[in-house]
Structure 1
Amino acid sequence: MFKKTLAVAAVAGMLLLAAPAAANAADYTQGSPCTFDAAVVQAGSTATLICQPGTWADSELVDWTATGEDGASVKLAVLKATTSTVHFSKHSNADGSDVLKVTLPADATGVYTVAGHGESSDHTCVSSVTVASANQPITSVNDPGSSLPDTGSVIAGWAAWIGGGLLVLGGIAVALAAWMRKVRES
């Protein structure tokens, strides 16, 4: 009975410790969506939209469209449009990545959305950035440079200590049982 309980505890401990490793093993870069380098930017500033390699087909023509409260004043790269949205086309890099500089109007407020559509892959990526007015400070930006999901450990500290302690106790119990068997046999 003790061996079965020990085995169940060992398996539970291994599963508890292996779950975050499995989450980290996923390849999030292939075909990942494009993201801005910051979630919130000041009005009048430039935000960088970054598309990871593999988002687009190699050297594919990507049609970009930006919309927002004052979309006519948004500049994509160095182009300025006079309509309510702005449209711009450019080729992705040889590895399917792309970087787009988006300059927002000085009086921008609210949320601006930039959408890219690949002509040959028919892949669409949409990303948004929230604009704080020039007199409103940016209070919180959660890791704006990362386009990958947070796959860190979700195990509570006490659970890791209990799991580790159970594994150590199990190892001691196995060693003690082996030693007692040798003593009885001799």
Structure 2
Amino acid sequence: MFKKILAAIAVTAGLLVAAPAAANAVDYTNGAQCSFDVSVVESGGSATLICIPGTWSPGEAIDWTVTGQNGASFKLASFATADSSLHFVKHANADGSDVLSVTLPASASGTYSVVGHGQTSGHECPATLTVLPADAASTVVDPGSSDGLAHTGSVVATWAAWMGGSLIVLGLIALALVAWIRKVKTTS
């Protein structure tokens, strides 16, 4: 009976370790999301929007729209208090990737939305960028982080880690119990 319990624990632990690896083995790049290389940038600074290979159809024309406070200042002048947009078309690379460099106006602040829409595939890829005003301190951490640490993209759910730890503790208790029962049987 004890060997069956240990086998079940070993199989469960193997599945918890192997499941994320199996999920990552599939190529999910077709229609993937694009993301900025930074989440927060100072006004007047720049950021790079990266779309991995397979996001777009090869050589596809992409309609890009940038929206935010004074957003048209990427190319045009506008009032600093009004949200405005800039629209342009750019072609994807032969592997379906794209890299878009964004330079923000010196008067930029708030959140900017950059949306790409593939003319052939119909795939839409939104991304946002938070801009600090020029007079703000540059020691701001990622707004999504409450502890100041980087998010590493772990694919193991918290409940799975707790379950794995609990199974290990239960296994150790079962081992101690079996050892105690054997000791009691040999002494009587």
**Separation in 2 of the partners of 1:22 and 1:161?**
24
* Structure 2 gap segments, 5+ residues each: 79-83, 145-151, 176-188
**Separation in 2 of the partners of 1:161 and 1:18?**
18
Asked if the contact 1:62/1:117 (under 8 Å) is kept, the reply is yes
Asked if the contact 1:44/1:103 (under 8 Å) is kept, the reply is yes
**Separation in 1 of the partners of 2:168 and 2:27?**
28
Q: Residues 22-171 of structure 1: matches in 2 within 5 Å?
A: 22-73=22-73, 75=74, 80-82=75-77, 84-136=84-136, 137-141=138-142, 150-154=153-157, 156=161, 159=164, 163=168
The percentage of counterpart residues that share the same residue type is 51
Asked if the contact 2:65/2:116 (under 8 Å) is kept, the reply is yes
CA-atom RMSD in angstroms: 3.2
The TM-score with structure 1 as length reference comes to 0.71
**Separation in 2 of the partners of 1:165 and 1:25?**
32
* Structure 1 gap segments, 5+ residues each: 143-148, 171-186
Asked if the contact 2:30/2:56 (under 8 Å) is kept, the reply is no
Residues 104, 21 of structure 1: CA spacing in aligned structure 2 closer, same or farther, 3 A cutoff? same
Q: Specify the code of the residue in structure 1 equivalent to 2:124.
A: T
**Separation in 1 of the partners of 2:20 and 2:171?**
19
**Separation in 2 of the partners of 1:92 and 1:8?**
49
Q: Specify the code of the residue in structure 2 equivalent to 1:90.
A: K
Aligned residue pair count: 160
**Separation in 2 of the partners of 1:39 and 1:69?**
17
CA deviation profile, 1:122-157 (whole Å, cap 9, x unmatched): 111111100011222142248xxxxxx813545649
**Separation in 1 of the partners of 2:100 and 2:8?**
53
| Runs of 4 or more consecutive aligned structure 1 residues displaced over 2 Å after TM superposition | 1-31, 81-84, 151-167
Deviation at 1:4, TM superposition (A): 2.8
Residue 146 (structure 1) aligns with: none
Residue 17 (structure 1) aligns with: 17
The TM-score with structure 2 as length reference comes to 0.70
Asked if the contact 1:72/1:82 (under 8 Å) is kept, the reply is yes
CA deviation profile, 1:89-123 (whole Å, cap 9, x unmatched): 11111111111111111111110001111111111
Residues 45, 138 of structure 1: CA spacing in aligned structure 2 closer, same or farther, 3 A cutoff? same
Asked if the contact 2:43/2:109 (under 8 Å) is kept, the reply is yes
**Separation in 2 of the partners of 1:163 and 1:15?**
15
